[in-house]
Amino acid sequence: MRRWAGSMLRLGCSALLLLSVLNAAHAHASGRNRLTDIRFWSAPTYTRIVLDLQQEAVFETFTLTGPDRIVVDVLAVEPRVPRDRMTINDKIVTQVRAAGSGSDRVRIVVDLARQSEHTIFTLGPIGVKPPRLVIDVSRPDLEAAERKSRTRARDATRPGTRIVVVDPGHGGEDPGAVGRGRVYEKDIVLAISRRLVDNLNRRQGIKAYLTRTGDYFIPLAKRVEIARQYGADLFISLHADASFNKKAAGSSVYCLSFKGASSNAARMAARKENASDFIGGVPIARAGDDLNNIIFDMVQTRSLNAGLQLAGLVLKEIGAVNRLHTKKPQQANFAVLRAPHIPSVLIETDFVSNVSRARRLRDKSFQVTFARRITRAVEAFFREHPELVPSQQRLAGQPAYHMVKRGDTLSRLAARYATSVAELRRLNSMRPGAVLKVGHRLKLPGGTSAAGSRPAYHVVKRGDTLSRLAVRYATSVAELRRLNNMRPGAVLKVGMKLRLM
């Protein structure tokens, strides 16, 4: 992650923008477009193929069967390719073939391992990244299997066990901060995250999981979704800093805030982190659905305060083995920390832009020590907060109704039963401003979560939205649209039978 200060941030952003404009102008001045590189990233459920060009791509595409193939013709481009074949052989794509066609096009053929779905979109230049054409090939059956695996792991957890989800920032097409000698943030934080999960899993009463296990990109909202599917009691996102000031050094810990950043540095940090989807490559329609439509009222004051307390414990522990860049927890609106009802922190390990600090971050003994210190902070947090009921136990024991008592409010009940104010209003046909009455029988969304499974269909009711239903059924807006053949902008109709799996 890159963090800039004051005018240096504005200067840096302006320089990147100017560089992008000059690159584009040079490409246009030379006349024809050109394909300069073909790359790929393999994730458990999808394969991403990236074409680097000098100018934004114009393309046509179609599919073939026997065997299954995706064909993409890049138009108005020099008929030269940087490589004619790229072997992948994961569960989704076997290989990619490229060849010049005629005098002004390049044909890309993606050979599939089996029938799959795909999305093709363009990305404009950003920083040192050129215009790109992205081909995402996915297998919904693998995604469904991953989702079921996470919920099965949650449901199989022994009662009383605390679940921690560790999120290595960036990945794949999004390297994060880059230090001298091609030191990538994404690699450092994955290594430390693996050690942290290993440490946590050795502790009695704690079970830990990673959001990503390799070098591939995950959209920000998807990371939150993974934490929900595991039933996380804590969410820890690991990152590394960078600065124009090559002497900048030390660790920082951030928490979520919807009321403004605690400092200008925190505001800039959140702005850069929240740009991860754009850098890593998320289609505009999907980015808007999965990131901007997160239901903010699901994040309760209790989780925010707990996150701040965890951040304080983390700073105390890592401060004993590493210099602190900020000695108190900082707050800003980080998209990756918007995990409903889950205390969450974002840890900046150190600055990769500082050569000596980057060398230390890559040192295995330091990674072990750093991970051990975070583990101690997590253990201390759980000891100091015995009142926080483990999510697996909370979901299993959730009743179908709550009898309203004096002092109850929708926000308190939403926090207690791991739901949202909006969902409680919808289930009980309550209008905004409606007052709870003592003795009223309030319906709770307990059936679906308690069972740890999802019904096949949902009958749309007044007030339902795709984003709310995605949160309720632990899926995504994109997946609901795919299952129901819905185009972006399509409206839910009351009484409509919506497929969930």
Each residue's pLDDT tens digit, 306-329? 888 999 999 999 999 999 999 999
- Evaluate if residue 132 carries a pLDDT over 70: yes
- Domain at 32-138, CATH from 2.60.40.3500, 1.10.10.10, 2.60.40.420, 2.60.40.10: 2.60.40.3500
For residue 392, name the pLDDT band (cuts at 50, 70, 90): low
For residue 339, name the pLDDT band (cuts at 50, 70, 90): low
Length of the chain counted residue by residue: 501
Of 61-70, 217-226, 373-382, 456-465, the poorest mean pLDDT is in: 456-465
Alpha-carbon gap, residue 48 to 27, rounded angstroms: 25
pLDDT at 433: 80
Averaged pLDDT, 216-244: 90
pLDDT at 24: 43
Pick from 305, 348, 304, 306: which is nearest to 326 by CA? 348
Alpha-carbon gap, residue 76 to 59, rounded angstroms: 9
- Does the 391-499 domain belong in CATH 1.10.10.10? no
Higher pLDDT, 417 or 403: 403
Look up the pTM and report it. 0.71
For residue 266, what is the enclosing H or E element?
A: helix 264-274
Look at domain 162-384 and name its CATH class: alpha beta
42-99 pLDDT, tens per residue? 999 999 999 999 999 999 999 999 999 999 999 999 999 999 999 999 999 999 999 9
User: Checking DSSP bridges between strand 85-87 and strand 93-101, what pairing results, if any?
Assistant: antiparallel
Burial of residue 71 (CB within 10 Å: 0-12, 13-18, 19+) is: middle
413-469 pLDDT, tens per residue? 775 665 667 678 878 888 878 889 888 888 876 433 333 345 667 888 887 888 777
What count of Cα atoms within 13 Å lies in the side-chain half-sphere of residue 92? Answer: 23
Domain coordinates of the chain in residue numbers? 32-138, 162-384, 391-499
Beta sheet of 46-53, edge-to-edge order: 35-42, 46-53, 132-138, 117-123
